[in-house]
Structure 1
Amino acid sequence: MPRTKMSTKHFIFHLGIVLHHVFVLYYFAAKLGKGKVPVDLEWPHGLEKYSGRFLTIWNFVVTLVFWTIYSIDRELILPKALDAFLPLWLNHALHTNITVAAFTELLITFHWYPASRRTTVYGIAAIMVAYSVCLFSTYYYDGTWLYPIYGVLNWTQRICFSAVIIIACILTFLFGEYLNSQIWGLEIQKMKAKNLSKQKKQR
Structure 2
Amino acid sequence: YRITYFPLPFSRSGVSLPQRSRTSLESYKMNNLARQVFHVGVAAYYMVVTHWMKENMLKHTKEDDIHDPIVKTMKRFSLRYLTNWTFTLQTTYFYIALGGEILALFKGREKIKERINQFKNYFFTVLVAPMALVVSIFFWSVWFVDRELIFPIAMDKFLPPWINHSLHTTTSVIVLLEMYMCFHKYPAFKPALLGITLYLLLYSFCLLGTYYQSGIWLYPIFKMLNWTLRVIICLATYILAVAMYGAGYFLNKVLWDEKLLVKKAPRKKHKKH
Q: TM-score range by the shorter chain?
A: 0.7 to 0.9
Q: 1:152 to 1:185 in 2, by over 3 A?
A: same
Letter of the 1:78 partner, please give it. F
User: Pick from 31, 35, 38: which aligns with 1:13?
Assistant: 38
State the Cα RMSD in Å: 2.2
TM-score (ref. length: structure 2) = 0.65
Aligned twin of 2:60: 34
Aligned twin of 1:157: 229
Q: Quick check: which has more Rg, 1 or 2?
A: 2
Aligned structure 1 segments of 4 or more residues deviating by more than 3 angstroms: 2-6, 187-190
In structure 2, runs of 5+ residues without a counterpart are: 1-6, 11-30, 88-131, 265-273
Return the alpha-carbon distance in structure 1 between the equivalents of residues 151 and 62 of structure 2: 15
Any residues of structure 2 matched to 1:5-84 within 5 Å, and which? Answer: 7-32=32-57, 33-35=59-61, 39-60=66-87, 61=132, 62-84=135-157
Letter of the 2:61 partner, please give it. G
Aligned twin of 1:201: none
Return the alpha-carbon distance in structure 1 between the equivalents of residues 56 and 220 of structure 2: 21
Letter of the 1:66 partner, please give it. F
1:113-167 Cα shifts (integer Å, max 9, x gaps): 11x1121022112101110110110010011211111111111111111111111
The answer to whether 1:183 aligns with 2:255 is yes
Aligned twin of 1:111: 184
Q: 1:170 to 1:188 in 2, by over 3 A?
A: farther
User: Pick from 142, 161, 167: which aligns with 1:88?
Assistant: 161
**Once the 2 structures are TM-superposed, how far is the Cα of residue 42 of structure 1 from its aligned partner?**
1.0
Letter of the 1:27 partner, please give it. W
Return the alpha-carbon distance in structure 1 between the equivalents of residues 235 and 40 of structure 2: 34
Aligned twin of 1:146: 218
Return the alpha-carbon distance in structure 2 between the equivalents of residues 186 and 3 of structure 1: 11
Return the alpha-carbon distance in structure 2 between the equivalents of residues 144 and 12 of structure 1: 43
Any residues of structure 2 matched to 1:128-143 within 5 Å, and which? Answer: 128-143=200-215
1:152-187 Cα shifts (integer Å, max 9, x gaps): 111111111111111111111110110111111223
In structure 1, runs of 5+ residues without a counterpart are: 195-203
Return the alpha-carbon distance in structure 2 between the equivalents of residues 185 and 109 of structure 1: 12
Identity of aligned residues (%): 34
TM-score (ref. length: structure 1) = 0.85
Any residues of structure 2 matched to 1:169-180 within 5 Å, and which? Answer: 169-180=241-252
Residue pair 2:49, 2:166 contacting (<8 A) in 1 also: yes
Residue pair 1:36, 1:85 contacting (<8 A) in 2 also: no
Residue pair 1:121, 1:170 contacting (<8 A) in 2 also: yes
Q: 1:189 to 1:67 in 2, by over 3 A?
A: farther
Residue pair 1:181, 1:188 contacting (<8 A) in 2 also: no
**Once the 2 structures are TM-superposed, how far is the Cα of residue 108 of structure 1 from its aligned partner?**
1.3
- Count of matched residue positions in the alignment of Structure 1 and Structure 2: 190
Return the alpha-carbon distance in structure 2 between the equivalents of residues 31 and 7 of structure 1: 36
